Structure 1
Amino acid sequence: MSQKTSLLPHRSPGTAPDGARPAGRNEPPGVVPCGGRRGSGRLSRGAARLTVWYLRVAVCVDLLGAVWVSFGQDLKRHNDGDFFTPHLVAAGFTGALFTAVLAVTMRRRKRAAWLLNLVFGLLVLALYSCVMALLPEFRAHPFNWFSLAVTALFVAALPVARREFTAKGDRSNPKLAAGVALGGLLVATALATLLVTVTNESPVEERSDLGVRLSYALARLVFIAGTDDRVDGIAIPGWVDVFINVTAALLLLLVLWAAFRSRRATDPVSPADEERLRALLERHGERDSLGYFALRRDKSVIFSPSGKAAVTYRVVGGVSLASGDPIGDPEAWPGAIDAWLAEARSHAWVPAVIGAGETAGTVYTRHGLSALELGDEAIVDTGEFTLEGRAMRNVRQAYNRVRRAGYTVRVRRHADIPAEEMTALMRHADAWRDGETERGFSMALGRLGDPADGQCVMVECHDAEGRPRALLSFVPWGRRGLSLDLMRRDREADNGLIEFAVLELIQRSGEVGVGQISLNFAMFRSVFERGAQLGAGPVLRLWRSLLSFFSRWWQIESLYRANAKYRPVWEPRFILFAKSSELPRIGLASARAEGFLDLPSPPRLLRRTRG
């Protein structure tokens, strides 16, 4: 039977697992211990929260001034007259966008954002101080003293909170941001100048020359002048000014993204790392049916200090996405999890785990993550499985129908397949794939026919004429288990080939020394099961109806029913996350990693150079 929900090994009193923090010293993800006295740590964290909330309030005021016309005009009159507003408080969507990016990057504790806020804030504070010292008319208004005090409080909080902002960006960010700013400004200026020239409604004899039109377009892009500003010889429709302003805002957002983006990935698994992982799987591979998928070569790995455990992950869209349980000795899991969370904090990545088992989920929650049941994994005990009985009547009939049609199944380890046959099988697998994208991350190996995977099992289904019609590939799960990796069939062949091949493998599992087989993962399996029962509540029935509707495109319910026919043992799998607000971002990253969502590639200028 599955060992995924077994309890952690017993520890003697007074001992701690590898890498575990002493009691009372656990820090939530995203908070970096500052060292020093407890009071100074609280002061630093409080100052960091103050700066973030100041920026959030400034965003709200900027947006309010943009949508509330009279309020926005009052703010502009204040800044144009003998008043000035606090730092970053103005009226307009562009100012709100700029401040919002600063607030988000500060919340993620990025060092570059802290430095930019400090330099920018000091310049504004110096300007305000000089104005108040040199111009008596400004000192006469109490509102200016309030603006100066609020700005000074924000700037003073930044040095106090400096130890909280440790997240590092990519080293190429400054060059990339400069390149995006320069290249984007050139393209946007050329486009804006062309629009101004084409839409200019001034009389021909009064039209400005190219230099004036170029200056007008550049000034509006850089300073985003108001629509009431006019230049002699230029009379253009209002939508052109709006288009230029929107272009400037988008360019600003793109530059800020390039300047503050997190490092997109770490080094993938090296051959030496793979050998260490294989050694851990050899000793502890029975614990998790997804363990072998840690050997995907698009993942990165981080080991515990003792080297007895590891977490494998992939960075997608700023999310450090781990999958399955940690690899290795459960006693050393906390050390590997600590190292993984620390690396996520250092790069401002969002930590998340998909497909963790119950035992691993419990350990992850002790490190500050929250758990949410994602679905269930279908596991068949080959020793207890039988096709007899009324409950298996439909499955038995479908199996016999395919067998009478002359189909046969061959079961072999990959190491026993000659190279030319493996090459042919790989061609069939590519030809039968549904779409161009190779799907799978948490429960797929992502390769076929690699010599290092000789212990994987291939199940080949041939028709009566000996032609290959379907194939399944399974990865090792410890010494006596298999976990489904690849499942392909010829669409022109008869239905039921996959079920026939699975049933043949279950009944002939002794040929490859297998006692348990992990099949597909059924997302939200409990919803479909409980929602169809007598007495199910309206909320559960509604949830089931929604999932059934989306199953038309994503096969959520069909996967559950396809696995339920084998009467498996259902093992729950969980998603782990730090904050509920990050679940949409984690869901998007998971969909991208699994191959269900293929976002367009960024321009070559924005692609990160690995190294």
Structure 2
Amino acid sequence: MFKVNRATAGRLIGRAAALLFEVSPHIFAALCVGSGIALLTSGVTPAYEDRLDHIRAVLPPILIELSHFGASISGFLLLLLSAGLWRRRRGAWLAAVIVLVVAAVFSLFKGLDWEEAAELLVLAAALAPCRAAFNRRSRLFEALSPSWVMLVLTVVAGMLWLGFFAYRDVAYSDDLWWSLLIDREVSGFLRVGAVLALLAVIIAGRSLVSAPGARSHGPAGAPELERALAVLQAGDGVMPDGWLAMLRDKALMFSPSGRSFLAYRVRGRRWITMGEPIGPQAEHLPLLWAFAELADSYGGVAVFYAVEETALADLATLGLAVRKIGEEALVDTAAFTLQGRSRQNLRTAVNRCEREGAGFEMLRPGAAADQMAALRAVSDVWLTHHIGVEKGFSLGRFDPDYLALTPIAVVRQGERIVAFANLMPGGDRLAVDLMRFTPDAPPGVMDYLFIHAIQWARDNGYAWLDLGRAPLAGLENRRLAPVFARVGALVFEEGGALYGFAGLRAWKAKFAPEWRPCFIAAPTSTPLALALLDVALLTSGGWRGMLGLNAKRASPAARPSETPAVSEEA
């Protein structure tokens, strides 16, 4: 029994030691913050006169003044380095040890503050053997997170307030900014305060506008796209949105086996995925963790956009906040019919298109190469009459290489193509992506195309045709609902002038789809409204695109009046 208990105790001690080792970077980061605050506080408050007298007897005034300045700068550096310690940076560990030792020397030289010097040396001695806990590569000029920016600004502001309070009885003059002989402590505080305030503002501004990891995690190259295409063609665990990775505007992260991947973009501090992992279900959760950890290693946060209900359990395991952002319209291909009074408008669209000589054709993957010029002509005229510029990220664009990978539904009038849509296969469904038609196409041409696409999908073994998302649909404007949902519901109901949210959902509702919710997930500290704004900016190509400033629209007289426009949704 004694051996069993001893073995159990040894195991518990080992696990406790491993846990302590795991959290030690956070502990040292907090201790360095405290040391930095102590140094800054010491630098803005008067020193003991008797200790100063001893120092002045052996050191020249310039060295005392420089030590005072150096101690305050060291305190500020410890605040910055603590962020690197928190992120387990090797460079931050080494720099912190050096700064602590140097700061201890400055503490002795500026006022014989041996207690402070001893505390700094003890912390340096404790930190020095812990190199193994800091296992992440360092990055030069790494941006601070918003919480750390707030910490630095708060500490510097508090230091300035404390300094002015401590020297509130001093008659300030211009001489105090440069004099080393008169009121040295006051002049030192003013110089240090000015320098640190300027540095804090510069660092805060740079950190808040930076995009950590954006340059090194840009669009995927040809080898990565070939790997992703192999995963998509294998079909195991593939969702239709996975084909958007082939647009060459996203970075890709693969699982260790290479059978799964995530497509994402970096904007600001947010690393935003397009959908959930593509590949076998067993690899989803490890890949989600790896992506969140990668974003965190750069000081960013992982945001998962347009994920479905099946991913919610894994996202909850990551401790993320989840909000509904809209609904997807999925048509049951087996149950779809044109019979009944509710389908009168669809039957009318089919009959009208057929009377005007329209015909449907499905081009298999790769078969559109000979038709690409005709498809581009349709796309160009559609862009002129509608949004004016191509989208991206969460929507497809006219890219011959991309369109060659998926089936394309086309409507011909005679020999001329007047409408088309590419369809992304995934599991038991086909999803509509790019939709384009000409102004002189028969009225109801997109209804005609979708009806035949549904029938083709049914005949080829697909259970569902996904008509795409209806943004903000299904959000509840109730008193107990989250603010995010209430604002979204208000925009959905009243935002027709900005975007046809309700109209888009009504158009898709003609096909009697099953509405399935889609979500966005992010850490609780991340404002989801700002994350959605980032998605809109990525999709639109920036502020100019989102505000329509890049659009080249046709004149009102030239726009089609009979054919309802099919909007692309973000």
| Distance (whole Å) between structure 1 residues aligned to residue 288 and residue 412 of structure 2 | 45
Q: 1:516 to 1:125 in 2, by over 3 A?
A: same
1:407–1:462: 8 Å Cα contact kept in structure 2?
yes
Map of 1:65-214 to 2, 5 A cutoff? Answer: 78=46, 119-120=98-99, 122-133=101-112, 166-168=135-137
The one-letter amino acid of 1:483's match is A
Quote the residue 2:240 is aligned against. Answer: 289
| Distance (whole Å) between structure 1 residues aligned to residue 262 and residue 124 of structure 2 | 39
- Is 1:380 the counterpart of 2:359? The answer is no
Q: 1:168 to 1:519 in 2, by over 3 A?
A: farther
Quote the residue 1:14 is aligned against. Answer: none
Specify the SS of the correspondent of 2:448. helix
| Distance (whole Å) between structure 2 residues aligned to residue 483 and residue 346 of structure 1 | 35
| Distance (whole Å) between structure 2 residues aligned to residue 330 and residue 531 of structure 1 | 34
Alpha-carbon shift at residue 412 of structure 1 (Å): 2.1
Higher relative contact order (CA 8 A, sep 6+): 1
The one-letter amino acid of 1:373's match is K
1:284–1:329: 8 Å Cα contact kept in structure 2?
no
| Distance (whole Å) between structure 1 residues aligned to residue 377 and residue 48 of structure 2 | 71
| Distance (whole Å) between structure 1 residues aligned to residue 86 and residue 359 of structure 2 | 59
| Distance (whole Å) between structure 2 residues aligned to residue 387 and residue 536 of structure 1 | 41
Superposed CA offset, 1:455-501 (max 9, x none): 522223455x76544321112224x6321121123356676433332
Alpha-carbon shift at residue 382 of structure 1 (Å): 1.7
| Distance (whole Å) between structure 1 residues aligned to residue 111 and residue 176 of structure 2 | 32
The one-letter amino acid of 2:421's match is L
Superposed CA offset, 1:568-599 (max 9, x none): 12232222323333545533442333226347
Gaps of 5+ in 1: 1-33, 63-73, 134-138, 175-225, 232-243, 601-611
- Is 1:553 the counterpart of 2:498? The answer is yes
Superposed CA offset, 1:182-204 (max 9, x none): xxxxxxxxxxxxxxxxxxxxxxx
Alpha-carbon shift at residue 397 of structure 1 (Å): 4.3
| Distance (whole Å) between structure 2 residues aligned to residue 537 and residue 318 of structure 1 | 28
Quote the residue 2:164 is aligned against. Answer: none
Quote the residue 1:472 is aligned against. Answer: 421
Quote the residue 2:366 is aligned against. Answer: 415
Quote the residue 1:458 is aligned against. Answer: 408
Specify the SS of the correspondent of 2:474. helix
RMSD: 5.0
| Distance (whole Å) between structure 1 residues aligned to residue 48 and residue 466 of structure 2 | 70
1:265–1:314: 8 Å Cα contact kept in structure 2?
no
- Is 1:488 the counterpart of 2:440? The answer is no
Specify the SS of the correspondent of 2:469. strand
Between Structure 1 and Structure 2, how many residues are aligned? 467
Alpha-carbon shift at residue 385 of structure 1 (Å): 0.8
Specify the SS of the correspondent of 2:512. coil
Alpha-carbon shift at residue 377 of structure 1 (Å): 1.6
| Distance (whole Å) between structure 2 residues aligned to residue 583 and residue 269 of structure 1 | 26
Specify the SS of the correspondent of 1:553. coil
Quote the residue 1:298 is aligned against. Answer: 249
Quote the residue 1:315 is aligned against. Answer: 266
Quote the residue 1:569 is aligned against. Answer: 514
Quote the residue 2:19 is aligned against. Answer: 38
Percent identity, aligned pairs only, is 25
Map of 1:506-585 to 2, 5 A cutoff? Answer: 506-509=454-457, 514-527=462-475, 544-581=489-526, 583=528
- Is 1:424 the counterpart of 2:399? The answer is no
Quote the residue 1:65 is aligned against. Answer: none
Superposed CA offset, 1:258-302 (max 9, x none): 999446333754544444434433444465232333434333333
The one-letter amino acid of 2:21's match is S
| Distance (whole Å) between structure 1 residues aligned to residue 175 and residue 388 of structure 2 | 52
The one-letter amino acid of 1:544's match is A
The one-letter amino acid of 1:594's match is T
1:88–1:99: 8 Å Cα contact kept in structure 2?
no
Specify the SS of the correspondent of 1:517. strand
- Is 1:439 the counterpart of 2:387? The answer is no
Q: 1:256 to 1:570 in 2, by over 3 A?
A: closer
| Distance (whole Å) between structure 1 residues aligned to residue 128 and residue 221 of structure 2 | 40
Quote the residue 1:10 is aligned against. Answer: none
Q: Which moved more, 1:484-493 or 1:149-158?
A: 149-158
Specify the SS of the correspondent of 1:416. coil
Q: Which moved more, 1:282-291 or 1:514-523?
A: 282-291
Q: Which moved more, 1:583-592 or 1:149-158?
A: 149-158
The one-letter amino acid of 2:454's match is I
Specify the SS of the correspondent of 1:301. strand
The one-letter amino acid of 1:426's match is R
| Distance (whole Å) between structure 1 residues aligned to residue 487 and residue 284 of structure 2 | 39
1:78–1:85: 8 Å Cα contact kept in structure 2?
no
The one-letter amino acid of 1:129's match is L
- Is 1:502 the counterpart of 2:483? The answer is no
2:25–2:88: 8 Å Cα contact kept in structure 1?
no
- Is 1:325 the counterpart of 2:273? The answer is no
Quote the residue 1:366 is aligned against. Answer: 317
Q: Which moved more, 1:552-561 or 1:377-386?
A: 552-561
| Distance (whole Å) between structure 2 residues aligned to residue 512 and residue 470 of structure 1 | 22
2:403–2:422: 8 Å Cα contact kept in structure 1?
no
Gaps of 5+ in 2: 1-14, 53-64, 143-171, 178-194, 546-570
Specify the SS of the correspondent of 1:290. helix
Q: 1:438 to 1:229 in 2, by over 3 A?
A: farther
